[in-house]
Amino acid sequence: MIGSDYGETAAVTKAGHWRFYCAAGGRAMSDEITVDRPVVLVGLMGAGKSCIGRRLAQRLRLPFVDADREIEQAAGCSIPEIFARHGEQAFRDGERRVILRLLESPPFVLATGGGAFMDPRTRAAVHGKAISIWLRADLDLLVRRTGRRGDRPLLQVDDPRAKLAELMEMRHPFYAEADLTVDSQDGPPDLTLERVLAALAAYQPPALAKDAAAGAERRAASS
């Protein structure tokens, strides 16, 4: 039987706030971006979370963590083996515990599994402790990308395309709750990476946006 949280997972040790400059459309951005919390990528399998996540972490000079690899390390077996031996619910329970533990770490980039953001406790923790980015991809792109691998438990069906369409309908409303949405492009990964960086550069946390709006109202009232 799997332990309550698959056992111990490696902690991310790099601390502090991280500043970086990014470029979009061939033009350097002048605004300095400060990341003071984890950046969490969500979306369906095949959206490019691990691929883009690694590149994003390099640009931000942050550690990168793949939640699926952390789960496998903690469980001592592969995700397909967890599904086969213990079922999806046991996997989801362990997935949630691993992600909640990781979110206690200093800033880093986290690529999550496709179903992680469906869990309400995981979603609440991400909302409270991280910046979440939904990598959104169309069905044709997901079908092409996921067809390159045969180790995805949920796609071990007669019609993987129909299954992906079903997952899109079910999960997209939850992914839409992410702080940012970036379309994953069919092309070099850096195209999508630049979109992610541009979205982060423009992002203003809700609390800061509310404070800024209140400040503007006070200045307008006193003028």
Q: From the annotation, which residues make up the binding site for substrate?
A: 68, 92, 114, 171
Question: Which residues are part of a known binding site for ATP?
Answer: 46-51, 152
Strand partners, 34: 19
* Joined tokens for residue 172: 């997209």
Between CA 175 and CA 112 the distance in angstroms is: 12
Between CA 185 and CA 48 the distance in angstroms is: 9
Question: Which residues are part of a known binding site for Mg(2+)?
Answer: 50
Question: Which residues are part of a known binding site?
Answer: 46-51, 68, 92, 114, 152, 171
| 68 alpha carbon, distance to own chain's centre | 12
Token pair 């931000």 is found at 60
> What is the H or E stretch that residue 175 is in?
helix 160-175
Q: Which residue, 101, 106, 114, is CA-closest to 41?
A: 114
| 80 alpha carbon, distance to own chain's centre | 21
